[in-house]
Structure 1
Amino acid sequence: MRIWTAVPTLRLPLRPDSRWRRRALETVLLAADSGAPAALRAVARDIESQGEEEVWRAWLRLPVSGSPSRRWASPLLAELSPGSGGPVPDEVVEAAWSDWLSEHHASLWSLLERWNRAAAASDSRSSLLSRLALGDESVALEPRLFVDTAARFGHPIGERARARLLDLHDTEAVDLFCAAAVDDPEAVRFCVTHHLAPSDEVERAVFFVRTEQYEQYRALDPDGALLTLGYRGAPTEVRSALRAAMTALGDIDVLRVLAGRGSLTDDFASLSEQERAYLIRQFAGREAWAQLWQVTLLMPLAEAVETVRAFGDWRPSGEDERQVFDALRAANPRTVREHLDALTTADPWWGTPPTRILRDDLDERLISFDDLDFSPDGTQLAFVALADGSRGPEVLGSPAAVTRACAGIVDLGSGTLSQSCFSFEQPVDRVAHLGADSIAVAEQGFDRPVDRPQIHCADRSGVRTLDFATGSFAGLERIAGERAFVVATGDDKFFTCSFDGPVAELDLPDGIYFDEIVVDPDRQLIAVVDAGDLMVVQLDGAVAKRLVSDLDSWRESTVHAALSPSVLVRCAENGDLDVWREPLTSTLTPATRTVWPLEKPIGLVWSCALNRFLAVTQSHVDLLDVPQDPDSPLPEELVAERIPLVGDQEGRSFARLSPKGDVLAVSTYRDIDLYDLTALALRPLVSRPMSLMTHRDLVAMGVVSRNPDLDAEALGTLGLLRTCLEHRFRHDVGLGDTTSTAAVPDTEIELGS
C-alpha cells in the first residue's frame, strides 16, 4: 500500500483488527520513520482517535534494517513521547532496554534516562541490568551475570558493573572475572590496574603466568609447585595457553610443571604428544642435551629416533648409552614410523596358522573334547573327552569294557599327552586344572540307577571322589588357594572345595538356578549366572550380592559371562551383552547393547594381557570396547575389532583363555587350536611411550620377533625397540619372566590331515 492510499484509509471507520487498517498504519509509520510530514500528521491524528498504545505496538512490529538501536532515533518518537498522552507501554520500555543492552546508542540512552523506568520483571536479566544502569545501588546480580556484564568493555553497562565489582569486594565474582579476563586484553589491563587476582593460590599462579605478571608469579611460586598443580588440573586448551606463556619465563623446571612432581618416568608417561613436543623444543632451544637425552628413551620409539637427530655433535658420555644413541641416530624416522604403524594394524596371526592339537595325535580312541582348562601357569591344558573302548584293548590305560569317558593333561611345550590320564565310568563334561598335575572333573551320573553326581579329584597318585547329594553340576572353576575350586549345582547349591580338604556349602539366597559360573582374574570373585538373574560372591568373607536384572526382557538362556577386575558382562541368547560396573556393589540394571543378533559367541573371556573382553564366535575373535572405568560411558558399538579365526572350520564348540590372557584355546570335537595373542597384546604398545613399557612387553617382543612373516626391516625396528628397553632395564635385578608369556610350542604337532 502506498502512502497516499494509506493516509485516507486511516480516516475510515474500520475495526482495530481490520487487515486494511493494519496495513495502512504500518505504511504510515514506515513513512513517518523517514520524517515524511504527511505521515507524521497522519500518525498524530490516529493517536488522537485511537490512542497511543495501539500505535506503539504497531511501530514495534515494524522491521528494522541495520542496528536495532536505529529505530529509537526516529522522528516519530516526538509524536509518541510521554507528553503527548498516557505512559509509555511496558513492552515498549522493555524493547528499548533490550536494544540498548545489546548495543549502546546515545539517543536511545537519552530516551531511557528521560523515561527513568526499569524494564518490567518479566525479563529478569533486562530488569536487573536496567536498574543497575539507572543507578539503583540495591540491585543484586547473580555472579555469572555480574561478571559477564563487567566484561563488556565499550558499553556503559560494563562500566557500571566494574565499578560495583570494585566496591563490593565479592570474592566469587572476582574469581569469575579473572577466569574470563585471561582471553581479553582490556580485561587483563583492568585486573592489573586494580590488582585483581583469584583468591585460590593455585589459580592465582596460573593467572599471573597467563597474564604475563611474571614478577608477581615468581614472588608467589618460586619453586613452581603451584603452577604444577594448576597445569595438571587444567583442561587441554588452558594447558596449551600455559605452555606458550611459560616460554617467556625460562627459569622453571618445564618437565615438572608439565607432568607433576613424581618420578621422571611417571611424569613423562603422563604427557600428551603436544606436551612432549613442547618439552623437546624447550630442551633443544636451551641446548640442554643431557636433560633431553634423559627423557629420549621414555618417548615413543618414532619420536626418539626423530629427537636424536637434533643433538648435533653431542653424544652421551657412557659407552652403553652411546651405543643406544648411535643405534637411534642410524635409524630412518620415516621407516621406523611406517613399521610401527604396520605392527599396530596388521593381522595378529600374520598368516601363521595356530598351533593345532589333533585329537587323534593324543590318542586315536578319543571321540570328542567336552571341556578344557589351562593350568595356573599356562604350560598345560587339561581336557575331558569321550572315548571309544571298542577300538582297542585299553583307552588311556583303562580296560575297554568299562571306559566311557576320560580326562587328561596336555603338555603345551611338547604338544603331547602327559602321564596324568584318567578314565571314568560315567560321562564327565567339566574340568578344572588345579596345578601340580592335578585336576577336578564333574561327572553328572545320568546313567546311575540313582542320579548322584560326583566330583573326581585326580593327580599322579590316584583319584579321590567327592559325593554330592544334589542335582547336576552347572559350574566347576579353580579359585585362589592350594588346589581349591568351586562347584555350582543345578538345584541352587554352591560349594567351595579343595583337592585334599573338606567340602563347604555357601549359604546363598534362594532363587538362582545356575547356568554357569565365572571367576575374576584373581580367582576371588565368582559370578553365578542364570537366564534372568545373577549373583556375585566374594569368597574372601563370603559376601554375596544379587544383581538387578531386566526381568521384563527375559532371556531363554544365558550363553556366556566373564569377569574383569571391575566389570561383569553377560551374553544372552538373543545376542545382547549386559554390562554391570563394580558388580559387587552395583544397584543398577545393566547397560545393554545388541552385539550378536546372528552369530552367537561360543566363549566370552577377560584377557589380562589385552586388558579387554574377548568374544569368540564360530568365525571371529571380537575385541570388545567395554570401558573398565565405572564413570566412562558405554559406547553404542562395543566391537572394537573383529579378527577372523584361521581356516574355514565349522563345529567350533567352546573357547578358553590362559590365566595370563595371552593364549586362546578354541576347540572343536576333533582338535584344539591355540592362538598366541602376544602380537595382539603388543599392537597397542609399540607406538606408546617407552616409559609405559614393562619387562613383560620386552619378553613379548622377543616372541613376536620369531614370527617368520616379519621382514628384515620390521625385525630391525623391533630390535631397536628391544635395545632401548634393555638399556632402560639394565640396572634391574632381572628382566622379569625370561620365558615366553605364551606357552605355545614353536612347531605344530599335527601329523597328517
Structure 2
Amino acid sequence: MMDPTGTRERVAASGRRGPLGSWAAERLFARAAGGDAAARDGVVAIARTLGHRRRERAKRTIAAWWAETLDPGLRRAVLETGALASAPLARLQTLALHDRLAEWDPAEAGWAPSLLGCADPAVRARTADACRRASGALREALWTEGGHPEPPLLDLLLRHDEPPPVPSLDALWARWLETPGEALEEALFRWGLPAGDPHHGPLSVLALETDPARLRAPEHHGALRDALALGDHPLRDSAAATIADLGERTLVDALCERALEDPRLAGLCEQRGLAPSDPVRRGVFFLLTGRPAQYRALDPDGRGLALAYAAAPDAERARVREAMLTAGELDLVHVIAGDRRNRLASMGDEEARYLAERLADRREWDELWTFVQDAPIAIGAELARLFDRWAPRGDDERRHFTALRTADPATVRAGLRRLRDERLPARPHAHLNVPGRVDLLSFSPDRSPGAPPSLAVSTGSGSVLVFDLSTGRIAERYEFDRPVRHLLHVGNGTVIVAEHTGGRRGPGRLTRCANGSAEPLRTTSGRIASLVAAGGDGRFAASTRTGGLLLGGPEGVTEVGFGSEYGVDLIYPWTIAGHRESGLVAVLGYTLVLIDPAAGAVTASTELGWAPFRTVFVDAGTLVATRTGTAKNRLTRITPSDGRQDPEFTVPFGWDFGPEALPRTGQIVIADGRGSLNFLDAERLTSVHRYTSPRDQAMTRCLAASPREDFLAVGHRNGVELFDVRTGRVPELARGPVADLVPRDLELVDAALAAPGIGDEARTALELLRACLHHRFRFDVEVDGDVRPVGGDHDIGL
C-alpha cells in the first residue's frame, strides 16, 4: 500500500541511531508542533510503536495534545498507550483518564477545581470520586490549597465525615452566618464543632446548642445580642426565641431595640408580651411597632415620648413623626418641641419646618412667633413667611417681625456660607506699656467667678509682671536674679517660672509665684527646655535638656523617666506640648510620643524622621509643629494616632514666632519680627488672612493666645499689643440658635460688620443677626458680666 505522505519513512528514520536519526526525529516533532497533520499522525504512530527510540517522548507529546484539545482520536491513543503528560494540570487530566488519581500528589490539590470543570466526563467523574474518597494529606490540601474551596469542590468535601482543618472550619462558619445554606448547615451540624475564632465562635456555639437553658449563663449573652443582628438568618430567630424564654432584662431590651427595625421580631415581642424595661423607650417601642393604644395608656400626656424624641437619632425621629401621624390624636407638635429652647441646637431644618407648619396649621401664632425668634436666623427667615395675616403687637416686635419676613432666606444662607469660608480677621484692641523688653507671655487659663483675666509678662531685666486686664494695672511683680526662660500662668493667680541657673547644660529651677511671694519648687539637673499646661487644677509639665520629664500640680513636682514609667526609649526629647483640657502631653524628638500622665500610659507613638522646633496642640488628637535645622520654616500637621504628617505649610521668611492655636475658630497663628500676624486654617494649613502691624519700629519677641480665645498678645521691645480674636467665633454664632446667644455676642457681631472686606451676602446675614440681638437684648444695659480689658494707669490704651 502506498504511503503518499511518507509517514512510515519519517517514523522509521526518526528511530535510527546517530545524527541523522536525531535530525529526522526533531524535524518530525517540529512539524507536528506546527500543526502538520501528517507529522502528528507520525508522532501518534511512534507512541504506538513498541521499541521505538522516541516512544516515551511521543507518549508525553500526545498526552499534552489531548489535554489541550480533548481530541477523540488523541484520547484513544492516550488510552491505548497509557500516555501521561508532564505539565501539572495535563498530568492530572491524563491520570484521571487512566483512573489513576490514587497517584494525586497533595501538592497539586489546587488543580481540583480545573479537573472538576474539565469537559471530559470521565475526568470529571473520576476527579469527583477522588475528592469524595480523599483522606490524610490530600484531604487537608483540598480544603486549604489556594484558599477556601468553592462549589463544586466544596459540595464534595462537605460530604466527608471528618471535619476540615480549623481555618477552613472557621471560614465555613463565617459563610453560614452570612449566607446560610442547607448542605453547609447539615455538614456543620453533623461535625458538631464550633468555630475557633473569637468573632464567630460564640455564635457557632449558639447554633450547635440543643438545650436553650444552657444559654442562660452570662458568657452567652453577648452572642445572643449579636445574633439578633443577623437579618433573616435562622440563628436570629432561634436567638430571639431563646431570649424570650430566658426573660433576662438586658437581653429583652436588646431584642426590643432590634424589633423596632424588624417586623418579625416585633411580632414575637407582641406574642410573648415583651417590652423595654425603660418606660421612655417602652413608649417609642409601642408606637413604632404599631400599638398606639398601649402607648396612650403608658404615656397619656406625651412627656415620655418627648424625652425619647429629643434623645433619638434623626432616622428614628422621622419614624416617630410618621407613626404619630398614622396613629392620629397624638400631639406631634408637643413631642417634637419638647423643651424647645434646649432642643433648638440639635433640631434639624426638616424638624423645624415640620413643627412650624403644624403650629401654623393650628393658628398658634404666639407659639410660632416665639419659635421663629429662638431659631437660627437661616431657618427663622424662612419660617417667618408662614404667618398668614397675623403680626405681633408693639412697635419693637413688629419691626423685628418685618425684618425676618422681608429677609431673603437664600441670601442669608449664602451669607453664612461666605462667613464660614472667609474667616473674619483679628482686630487691634489695646496696647500695654511694659517697663523693659518683653520676652515671654502667658494668659490666665480661666475666668473663675469674680476673677479678672490676667496676663503674665517676663521682661529682659528679670521681672515677671502679672497684669489685671480689666484695669490694665500691674497686680503682681516678681524679681529674679537669673534669666527667666519659660513662663506659664496656671490660673488662680499662680504663675510657674523656669529659671536658668548655670551654663548651657547647667541646672534649672522651677518656681511658683502667687500672692506676691515666690516659692522654689524643684531644681533640675539640666536646663529646662519646655514648660506647658497639662490639665486643669494648675497642672503642668516640663522637660529638661538632659531628657527628664517633670509633672507638677498642687501637690508638688515629680520627675518621671520615659523608660521606667512609660516604657519609651527617647534618644533626645527636643520639646513637649500640653493639651490643657485633656491633660495629654506630647513628647517630641525624632519620635513623637503621646502620654496621658493621669493614667501613666502612652496613648500613641509615631516616628517623625525629623525634630520639631516649636509645637502646639490643635485638639486632643492633632498637633502642628515647626521644624529645627534648615527646614525650620516648614509647618506640619501631625496626627499621632495614625502617624499622618500632612499637610505642610512653608512659613514665609521672617515668620519666627508661634505657632499658637485657636481651636474654637480652627486657626493657627504665627507672627513675624515686626508684629504682623498670619492666620492659617488649622486643617488645611492654608493662609486665611494676614494683619500687617503699623508699628514698624517694634521688634517682636513673643506671641501668646488666651485659652478662651478672647485675645492674642504680641510682645516686643515697646510693650504688648493685644488683638481681639473673638470675631473669629461669629460664623459659629450666626449658624446657631438665637436663643443660645448672650448680650456680649452683640459686640462681636458689630466688630464683624466693621471688619474690612465683608461681602454683601455676609453683611446681609450679619445685619439680620444684629437686628435679632438688638431686639432680644434691648432692655439689657450691661455686657452680661463679661470683663473686657480697659484703660488704666498702666494704659491698655487703643
TM-score normalized by the length of structure 2: 0.60
- Aligned identity (percent) is 25
Change (3 A) 1:505 1:674: closer
Task: Report the CA distance between 1:101 and its aligned residue.
Answer: 7.6
Distance 1:39 1:608 in 2: 71
Equivalent position of 2:610 in the other structure: none
Match in the other structure for 2:380:
304
- The alpha-carbon distance between structure 1 residues 305 and 679, as it changes in their structure 2 partners (threshold 3 A), is same
**1:488-567 matches, cutoff 5 A:** 488-491=498-501, 492-496=509-513, 498=515, 503=517, 505-508=519-522, 513-514=527-528, 530-531=544-545, 532-533=547-548, 535=550, 537-538=552-553, 543-544=556-557, 552-556=570-574, 564=580, 567=583
- 1:268 deviation in Å? 2.1
Match of 1:450 in 2: none
Instruction: Determine if the alignment matches structure 1 residue 16 to structure 2 residue 103.
Output: yes
Q: Give the CA deviation at 1:296.
A: 1.6
Secondary structure class of the residue paired with 1:205: helix
CA deviation after TM superposition for structure 1 residue 305, in Å: 0.7
Unaligned ranges ≥5, structure 1: 81-86, 386-426, 443-453, 456-467, 626-636
Q: Distance in 2 between matches of 1:44 and 1:682?
A: 75
2:744 matched to 1:696?
A: yes
Residue 600 of structure 2 corresponds to 587
Aligned residue in 1 for 2:776 = 728
Match among 119, 125, 131 for residue 192 of structure 2: 119
Q: Distance in 2 between matches of 1:545 and 1:717?
A: 53
Partner of 2:734: 686
Q: Which residue of 1 aligns with 2:371?
A: 295
Equivalent in 623, 642, 646 of residue 692 of structure 2: 646
Letter in 1 for 2:402: D
Measured after TM superposition, the shift of residue 328 of structure 1 is: 0.6
Describe the shift of the 1:608–1:728 C-alpha distance in structure 2 as closer, same or farther (beyond 3 A).
Answer: farther
> Which letter does structure 1 place at the counterpart of 2:772?
C
Tell me which of 237, 260, 267 is aligned to 1:182: 260
Distance 2:283 2:458 in 1: 65
Distance verdict in 2 for CA 1:656–1:139, change over 3 Å: closer
Residue pair 1:371, 1:431 contacting (<8 A) in 2 also: no
Whether the aligned pair in 1 keeps the contact of 2:551 and 2:559 (CA below 8 Å) is yes
Q: CA–CA distance in 2 between the matches of 1:342 and 1:43?
A: 71
C-alpha contact 1:527 1:563 (8 A) present in aligned 2: no
Q: Is 1:345 matched up with 2:421?
A: yes
1:252 and 1:52, CA in 2 relative to 1: closer, same or farther beyond 3 A? same
C-alpha separation between the residues in 1 aligned to 2:583 and 2:110? Answer: 70
Partner of 2:466: 432
SS for the counterpart of 1:736 is: coil
| Separation (CA, whole Å) in 2 of partners of 1:513 and 1:333 | 60
Q: State the Cα distance separating 1:697 from its structure 2 match.
A: 0.9
The Cα shift of 1:604 comes to: 6.0
Shift of 1:277: 4.4
Q: How many Å separate the matches in 2 of 1:174 and 1:69?
A: 42
Structure 2 residue matching 1:312: 3-state secondary structure: coil
For residue 47 of structure 1, report the CA deviation from its aligned partner. 11
Look up the equivalent residue of 1:119 and give its one-letter code. G
Query: Distance between the aligned counterparts of 1:40 and 1:660, measured in 2?
Result: 78
The SS at the match of 1:719 is helix
Q: Which letter maps to 2:728?
A: L
Structure 1 counterpart SS, 2:261: coil
Q: Is the 8 A contact 1:577 1:595 kept in 2?
A: no
Does structure 1 conserve the Cα–Cα contact (< 8 Å) formed by 2:667 and 2:679? no
In structure 2, the residue corresponding to 1:297 is in which secondary structure?
helix
Distance in 1, Cα, partners of 2:274 & 2:752: 60
Alpha-carbon distance, 1:545 to partner: 6.0
Distance 2:315 2:130 in 1: 60
How far, CA to CA, are the matches of 2:131 and 2:733 in structure 1?
Answer: 81
Aligned partners of 1:40, 1:657: CA distance in 2, in Å?
Answer: 78
Point out the structure with the larger helix share.
2
Change (3 A) 1:554 1:743: farther
Describe how 1:239-638 pairs up with structure 2 within 5 A.
239-248=317-326, 257=335, 264-273=340-349, 275-284=351-360, 286-349=362-425, 354=428, 370=439, 427-428=461-462, 430-433=464-467, 439=474, 455=479, 471-474=482-485, 488-491=498-501, 492-496=509-513, 498=515, 503=517, 505-508=519-522, 513-514=527-528, 530-531=544-545, 532-533=547-548, 535=550, 537-538=552-553, 543-544=556-557, 552-556=570-574, 564=580, 567=583, 585=598, 587-589=600-602, 593=623, 595-597=625-627, 598-599=632-633, 602-603=657-658, 616=671, 620-621=677-678
What is the CA deviation profile of residues 166-204 of structure 1, one whole-angstrom value per residue up to 9, with x for unaligned ones? 544454443333322322233333333343323343332
8 Å contact kept, 1:535–1:545:
yes
Deviates more, 1:723-732 or 1:506-515: 506-515
Q: Which amino acid aligns with 1:349?
A: P
SS of the residue 1:494 aligns to? strand
Query: Contact conserved, 1:662 with 1:676, CA < 8 A, in 2?
Result: yes
The residue type paired with residue 681 of structure 1 is R
Kept after mapping to 1: 8 A contact 2:425/2:689: no
Note the alpha carbon deviations across 1:344-366, whole angstroms, 9 max, x for none. 3325339x8x579799xx9xxx9
Change (3 A) 1:440 1:247: same
* SS in structure 1 at match of 2:733: coil
Deviations 1:642-699 (A, max 9, x none): 6434269795321245797434332454786553323223232222222222222112
Report the Cα offset of residue 119 of structure 1: 3.3
Pick closer, same or farther for the CA change 1:126–1:275 going to 2, 3 Å: closer
Q: How far apart are the structure 1 equivalents of 2:492 and 2:205?
A: 71
1:301: how far off?
1.1
The alpha carbon displacement at 1:729 in A equals 3.0
Post-superposition Cα deviations, 1:359-403, rounded to whole Å, max 9, x if no partner, equal 9xx9xxx99655678999689998957xxxxxxxxxxxxxxxxxx
Query: How far apart are the structure 1 equivalents of 2:672 and 2:749?
Result: 28
Q: How many residues align?
A: 630
1: CA distance between counterparts of 2:272 and 2:677?
Answer: 67
Deviations 1:99-138 (A, max 9, x none): 98877778x59x959x994534567579656646xx6667
Gaps of 5+ in 2: 1-66, 80-92, 445-450, 502-508, 563-567, 605-621, 634-654
CA–CA distance in structure 1, aligned partners of residues 706 and 175 of structure 2: 72
TM-score, reference length from structure 1: 0.63
1:53 Cα deviation from its structure 2 partner? 9.3
- Residue 30 of structure 2: aligned partner: none
Native 8 Å contact 2:440 2:487 kept in 1:
no
Q: In 2 relative to 1, CA 738–708 (structure 1 residues): closer, same or farther, beyond 3 Å? A: farther
Deviations 1:219-267 (A, max 9, x none): 2223334434444544454444444434445666657755765xx4233
Distance 1:326 1:546, change over 3 A: farther
* 1:664 aligned partner: 712
Equivalent-residue separation in structure 1 for 2:459 and 2:406 (angstroms): 55
In the alignment, is residue 214 of structure 1 matched against residue 292 of structure 2? yes
SS in 2 for 1:595: strand
Alpha-carbon displacement from aligned partner over 1:539-593 (angstroms, at most 9, x marks no partner):
xx655566776771534567xx677465577797x79998777x7x463458684
Inter-partner Cα distance in structure 2 for 1:690 and 1:723:
11
For residues 489 and 148 of structure 1, do their structure 2 counterparts lie closer, same or farther at Cα, with a shift above 3 Å needed?
Answer: closer
CA distance in 2, matches of 1:15, 1:742: 98
How many Å separate the matches in 1 of 2:735 and 2:315?
25
Q: Hey, what's the Cα distance between the residues in 2 that align with 1:494 and 1:504?
A: 6
Q: In the alignment, what sits opposite 2:611?
A: none
The Cα offsets for residues 54-76 of structure 1, whole Å up to 9 and x where unpaired, read as 9999999999xxx969997x9x9
Per-residue Cα deviation, 1:631-651 (whole angstroms, up to 9, x for no partner)? xxxxxx696976434269795
- Say if 2:437 and 2:717, in contact at 8 Å, map to a contact too: yes
CA distance in 1, matches of 2:95, 2:592: 77
> What is the CA-CA distance between 1:705 and the residue it aligns to?
3.1
Matched residue SS, 1:432:
strand
My pick for the range that moved more, 172-181 or 604-613, is 604-613
